[in-house]
Structure 1
């Protein structure tokens, strides 16, 4: 049996706005901009993608799944995300870690990691 990871589905109040934000943040391309399903990918023919779908239920707890990014320069990347509209958040991680926890415009948490341990 062959298994290919196609996409991650992200529930969103405004799929188009959140999908555009993540496309800008990641430098990805839009492959579907239907009103009910907004999909982005690293390149048109590259997987996995992110698909943003509309939900009407408000978010009430922290994410059960989140993205971790490991850039060359953590602080520069955090600054870039903040300039795009991300916000810092505290989910109980404390201050003694090599990562920074941010949230996207709809409050979805993601981490920007520090250098890979040697």
Structure 2
């Protein structure tokens, strides 16, 4: 028996707002809203569904799961994401492989790598 990835779910105190932000960054569409408690994105640049689950309080500390995203033009993507409301956490790597760690508007960290 094997497992397959169905979706990546992120806890948030405002599922609809964060889902709209990620939809804008990935070109995905919101396909389910479930009265704002569980919002699903599909399509665009996403190979799997991305879901946002409303919680009363976020888990304390660093998020346990993060997204690793790719782009052909890392420098342009850094500028675009920061302009869209992401926070640049750290530039990493070297000339052979570069990536940047960001936080989305609710502090969830994610990485974008040059590919």
User: TM-score if structure 1 supplies the norm length?
Assistant: 0.81
Gaps of 5+ in 1: none
8 Å CA contact retained: 1:68, 1:113: yes
Number of residue pairs matched? 109
What is the root-mean-square deviation in Å for CA atoms of aligned residues?
2.0
User: 1:1-118 to 2 correspondence within 5 Å?
Assistant: 1=1, 3-34=3-34, 35-42=36-43, 48-90=48-90, 97=93, 98-115=98-115
Q: As a proportion of its length, which structure holds more strand?
A: 2
Q: Normalization by structure 2: what TM-score? A: 0.83
Cα distance change on mapping 1:96 and 1:21 into 2, 3 Å:
closer
Give SS of 1:64's match. coil
Find runs of 4+ consecutive structure 1 residues off by over 2 angstroms: 1-5
1:2 CA displacement: 6.5
Q: C-alpha displacement at 1:96, in angstroms?
A: 5.2
Q: Once the 2 structures are TM-superposed, how far is the Cα of residue 4 of structure 1 from its aligned partner?
A: 3.8
For the residues of structure 2 that align with 1:29 and 1:42, how far apart are their CA atoms?
6
